[in-house]
Amino acid sequence: MYQSIRQDDLFDLLAGQDEHDLRSYLASKKAADIVDAIEHLRGRQVRTVLAALDGAQKVETFTGLDIDLQLGVAERLDTHQLSDLLASMPADDAARVLSRLGRRRREAVLAGFDRAEREAIAAHATYGPESAGAYASPRYAVLTPDMSTADALARLKAEARQVETIYDAYVVADDRRLVGVVELSRLLTAQPKAPVSEVMARDFVSASVDEDREPAAERMRKYGLLSLPVITVEGAVVGIMTPRDADEILKDELREDADRFVALTDTAVEMPYMRQSVLAHFRRRVGWVLSLAALGLISGYILHVYEDVIAALVILALYIPTIADSGGNVGTQSSSLIVRGLALGDVRLRDTGRILAKEFAVALLLAGVLFLFALLKVLFLSNASDVPANITLLNVGLAVGIAIAIQVVVATLVGAMLPLGARLMRQDPALVSGPALTTLVDITGLFIYFQVCTLFFGLR
């Protein structure tokens, strides 16, 4: 029975510095498990593990690593070692590593490639790193329309170890234009002499070489594809995107969205948390923190404007945190749901009216619950001696409850509208979420609270 890697066992083997034991332990492990284990190691330990791997296992493990880990390993390999390693990788994966090396280092590594490998790398170098073309593997099964299904099966059998998958084969014309896609199951059940053109699907899903990688990966997930052809404007196929590629892309995009959601910068060079220095973490956070702190001065100004109201009725100050927390919580909930819906394609801009109507209905229900909560909290947990003789706790409770109810409705709608507005302006919806949203609803919450109390108690 197969057993995955136990992190403690791996740490013990690394600490023991016995290369033979480490090599024996890793020999039976799957590359995917080694990749997961490496994520918890430091630079020298990563290089030690990779040095203990051989052949295809080493290539598959290195290919599965995060790009920053790959570059860290590449820096420590001599030119010949790195050239051999990259030459054994799929061209699209090798191109992504090479594109991040310095010019001299890249040229030296490429000198160790044969002509065909250099041409494949050069083709991928023309595509942007965030494009679907950058992930197009040239290792795909090719058939022709006039080929018989028997001949097609024979070719797939012969090329099975040289291509990414044989479950999907791509039918191309003489000019390399993609004219159809045929599944292995269709070939197996067709008449042996039937031409491939009779069993292939002409209405296929594809991606353009220049389109952004995320929608291409989402398309692959949406239709449950085992591969996605990447084609040029003329319709010529340049390669296929695999499920591994789609998984990597979607995870990268999710991590970037999460960083933006909590107002972190520099996501383009994102590294695993434990591999970043304290200074790197500081640089990524300080800009947004200072910006939001400056914006938060508005909250201080509102308190200053209404300081006479607070002085006249001190008990109001006790419920400022409740107002701020309620608005921040419901606003963040609403924003998170809309950002997630936009990312997954569940909601679109044309749904804006329905979205706001639904969020308004939800906000009214939440407002009712929190109004009752605030009223009961004031009535049963506040001291009547804290209010002037002409004002009752019921009056205070109603004022606080009404303010919270209005703030909940406003914050919910703001939380829903900001991501939609960002998408309308072709900006990332996640950029307006998290701390930025919280700061904004804090400001609106204080303003609403003191306006309600001023009107309710006739204070100025």
Q: Which fold has domain 7-127?
A: MgtE N-terminal fold (1.25.60)
Task: Please name the amino acid found at residue 448.
Answer: I
Q: Is the pLDDT of residue 58 over 50?
A: yes
* 8 A C-beta contact, residue 134 and residue 207: no
| Stretch 325-331: mean pLDDT | 88
pLDDT given for residue 272 in this prediction:
56
Higher pLDDT, 91 or 158: 158
Q: Is the pLDDT of residue 270 over 70?
A: no
pLDDT given for residue 365 in this prediction:
96
Return the DSSP state at 237: E
pLDDT given for residue 372 in this prediction:
95
| Stretch 389-416: mean pLDDT | 90
CB pairs under 8 A, 24+ apart, for 120-128? 120/91, 121/91, 121/94, 121/95, 123/91, 123/238, 124/91, 124/92, 124/95, 124/96, 125/95, 125/98, 125/99, 127/209, 127/210, 128/210
Strand, coil or helix: what is 39? Answer: coil
pTM (two decimals) = 0.56
Taking only the tens place, the pLDDT of each residue in 103-114 is: 888 888 888 887
Q: Return the CATH class of domain 142-242.
A: alpha beta
Same fold for the pair 7-127 and 277-457: no
Which homologous superfamily is 277-457 in?
SLC41 divalent cation transporters, integral membrane domain (1.10.357.20)
Taking only the tens place, the pLDDT of each residue in 125-162 is: 678 778 888 888 888 999 999 999 999 999 999 999 88
* 8 A C-beta contact, residue 237 and residue 227: no
| Stretch 63-87: mean pLDDT | 84
Q: How far apart are CA 164 and CA 379, in angstroms?
A: 68
Question: Residue 271: which H helix or E strand, with range?
Answer: none
pLDDT given for residue 153 in this prediction:
94
Taking only the tens place, the pLDDT of each residue in 339-393 is: 888 877 778 888 888 999 999 999 999 999 999 999 999 888 887 777 777 788 8
Query: What percent of the chain stands above pLDDT 90?
Result: 26
pLDDT given for residue 269 in this prediction:
44
- Least Cα distance to 55 among 85, 80, 32, 33 occurs for 85
pLDDT given for residue 267 in this prediction:
45
Higher pLDDT, 231 or 276: 231
Taking only the tens place, the pLDDT of each residue in 162-202 is: 888 999 999 999 888 999 999 999 999 999 999 999 999 99
Q: Is the pLDDT of residue 259 over 70?
A: no
pLDDT given for residue 427 in this prediction:
67
Mean pLDDT estimate for the chain: 84
Quick one: pLDDT band at residue 271, thresholds 50, 70, 90? low
pLDDT given for residue 257 in this prediction:
65
Taking only the tens place, the pLDDT of each residue in 22-54 is: 888 888 888 888 888 887 787 788 888 888 888
Q: How far apart are CA 393 and CA 387, in angstroms?
A: 7
Of the spans 4-8, 57-61, 71-75, 454-458, which averages the highest pLDDT? 57-61
Structure tokens at 329: 């919580």
Taking only the tens place, the pLDDT of each residue in 426-458 is: 766 765 566 678 788 888 889 999 899 888 887
Q: What does the domain layout of the chain look like in residue ranges?
A: 7-127, 142-242, 277-457
Angle of helix 79-87 versus helix 55-64 axis, rounded to 10: 90
pLDDT given for residue 7 in this prediction:
80
Q: How far apart are CA 86 and CA 125, in angstroms?
A: 14
Q: How far apart are CA 167 and CA 141, in angstroms?
A: 9
**Beta-strand relationship, 168-172 and 178-183:** antiparallel
